Structure 1
Amino acid sequence: MGRVLAWTLWALAFASAQAAADLKVMVAVDPSDREAIVISVIDLQATLTRVTGQSVSAIRSGDLGDVMRSTRTGEYDVYIAPAHVAASALGHGYALIGSTERDETYQLVAKPGVTTPGELKNGKIYLTQQDSVGAYMARGMLNESGQSLKIFQQVMYRRTSGAGLFAIDTGLVDATVAKSTDVESWVKQNNSKATVVLSSRAVPGGMSVVVKKTLADATRARLENWLLSPAGTISGIGRVAYRSDPANYKYVSALGNWTPSQLPGATIVTAAEVLALQQKGVPIVDVRIAKEYQEKHIRGAISIPYAEKSLKDVAFDPAMDEWAGPQLLDKNKAVIFHCNGAECWKSYKAARVALTKGFKSVYWFRGGFPEWDEHGLAVESLPTTMAETASRVAQPVLPAAATKAH
């Protein structure tokens, strides 16, 4: 009896160890019809098992929201996924192998006569499902332009990616988002009068493959060598024949949370302009968290952290956030707000709140601390109180590398 129990426990332990040793692969499929490709998970498992020499567990999912969540917690060793999912993974401990198609651009297309996103207010927009690449790009491009999906009276989410252009020409909707190649083809073949309102930058095409950086070197090498070889075609997906510039993935990743490129009522300034304003006595307000400010900040900047709880959207609700700026600053004097660059919403929100509170002269340093640091301008690491800053804010801030304190 004891031997049987021991054998059973050993078998269970062995099975558990084998399961734990499986290479976990996630195949994330865009829910729009164009990307609803036929993939045999069983064939994929067999192929990758042969290539890597170890057991592979592959899962296919069309729930891209949940898949993106899993990239942040590192639940899979390999992701084969659309660009926005791969971009999220690359920001959370994964490395790029490549993509199955060339880069592409997305365009916000509207009915004839529309030239700006604002003119679509109270209209209808057709998008593929909420977690699809098209819907993701729509939200990002609108945010970047200073607008939001909330300007539309109705957002129609559907599975058919090509129907949006047809819906515009038939008057069913006012706008849609589509790949530029599809737009060009549709306009040419159907003599469409639809107009392009916004265009994205380059976006990695097809499906991208990323692997966890902590994956065993030998396993990672086998995977990469096979995927990049002429024989490395994934059934139903294609061959990883392209490698987009990493900056394109960073763009896609940030686009989901990208701040607008304009802010009515405020003046958007560059690092050089901020330096000139500071030398004239205009205070620079750093709204990042206190820890970031103490580690390194613009020399002479004031720290007034913006506690952000609202959505990263132009239609954010300031009542959900906490910020002491209006109580600590003089609304009759000019002020500059900044945080961690164009993808950081805190300074945008702070500037918006200041404007609504009646501040007379608001400057928004959209590029924020990253832009300042990249230009070699003076920084410091010690905390600076408002009193200390006030006593020296009019002093010149020299950009020479020798003045930089880390």
Structure 2
Amino acid sequence: MSKGPIPAICTALALAGAPLFVPLSHAEALRFDTTGYRIADYRAPVPDQAPAGRIVGAEEVEALHGRGALLLDVVGLRHFRITDDGGWLVPEPHLSLPGAVWLPVVGWGQLEGWQQDYLDESLAQLTGTDMSKSVVVFCLMDCWLSWNTVKRLDAAGYSEIYWFSGGVEAWADAGHDLVALEPYPLGRSRPE
């Protein structure tokens, strides 16, 4: 039996079938906002469950893309400039999956208004507003930006979401080629 008042109470509650709340450490709590989006330490081990949809591997990604799925790369960019015509000036090339579309500012835990507009406008264009279109979301291995984006797509109402949690590295490790990718152009949305 438990010793001390707290363990004894927890044991009694567990035996009674009451759910137990396991508080996050202070450091862990600072990594998430109140709505569950990861807001810090984006390059860290990710969960083995998707926040929505399901996890897929490289071979499934290839099959889904062959059936018309949108491959959505959300590897983040912190340093960039945007031209008057909506093009992106980036400091270095980005290698990604052939046929993927790169939205480099939509995976952060908290989006500015123009970033949310960019995500919404881009997805509407890329899916033809079909909320049942298959979307495969990825970034890099151990990257929470894709996890956040999957959560965001689910909240927006997309029903066929796949999380390729291994991302670009898992694709290359499976023997597939990578290609240089430019960010998808901005439409009406602009950073302020």
> What's the TM-score bracket when you normalise by the shorter of the two chains?
0.5 to 0.7
So what's the TM-score if we normalise by structure 1? 0.31
Matches within 5 A, 1:46-65: none
Matches within 5 A, 1:27-46: none
So what's the TM-score if we normalise by structure 2? 0.60
Distance 1:299 1:277 in 2: 13
Residues 373 and 113 (structure 1), Cα distance of their counterparts in 2 relative to 1, 3 Å cut: farther
Aligned to 2:188: none
Q: Which runs of 4+ in 1 moved over 6 A?
A: none
Aligned to 1:274: 61
Answering whether residue 125 of structure 2 is matched by residue 326 of structure 1, we say no
Aligned to 1:355: 154
Distance 2:150 2:57 in 1: 15
State whether residues 269 and 365 of structure 1, in contact with CA within 8 Å, keep that contact through their aligned partners in structure 2: yes
Residues 302 and 124 (structure 1), Cα distance of their counterparts in 2 relative to 1, 3 Å cut: closer
Gaps of 5+ in 2: 1-9, 35-40, 78-89, 186-192
Higher helix share: 1
Distance 2:12 2:66 in 1: 48
Map Cα deviations across residues 188-224 of structure 1 (whole Å, 9 max, x no partner): xxxxxxxxxxxxxxxxxxxxxxxxxxxxxxxxxxxxx
Select the structure of larger CA radius of gyration: 1
Aligned to 1:60: none
- Letter of the structure 2 residue corresponding to residue 322 of structure 1: Q
Residues 381 and 264 (structure 1), Cα distance of their counterparts in 2 relative to 1, 3 Å cut: closer
- Letter of the structure 1 residue corresponding to residue 119 of structure 2: G
Q: Which structure exhibits the higher relative contact order, with contacts defined as CA atoms closer than 8 Å and separated by 6 or more residues? A: 2
State whether residues 300 and 384 of structure 1, in contact with CA within 8 Å, keep that contact through their aligned partners in structure 2: no
Matched positions, count: 146
Map Cα deviations across residues 209-244 of structure 1 (whole Å, 9 max, x no partner): xxxxxxxxxxxxxxxxxxxxxxxxxxxxxxxxxxxx
Gaps of 5+ in 1: 1-109, 131-135, 151-253, 311-316, 387-406
Map Cα deviations across residues 76-103 of structure 1 (whole Å, 9 max, x no partner): xxxxxxxxxxxxxxxxxxxxxxxxxxxx
Q: Once the 2 structures are TM-superposed, how far is the Cα of residue 293 of structure 1 from its aligned partner?
A: 8.6
Higher strand share: 1
Aligned to 1:381: 180
Matches within 5 A, 1:80-95: none
Q: Once the 2 structures are TM-superposed, how far is the Cα of residue 319 of structure 1 from its aligned partner?
A: 6.3
State whether residues 301 and 384 of structure 1, in contact with CA within 8 Å, keep that contact through their aligned partners in structure 2: no
Map Cα deviations across residues 39-90 of structure 1 (whole Å, 9 max, x no partner): xxxxxxxxxxxxxxxxxxxxxxxxxxxxxxxxxxxxxxxxxxxxxxxxxxxx
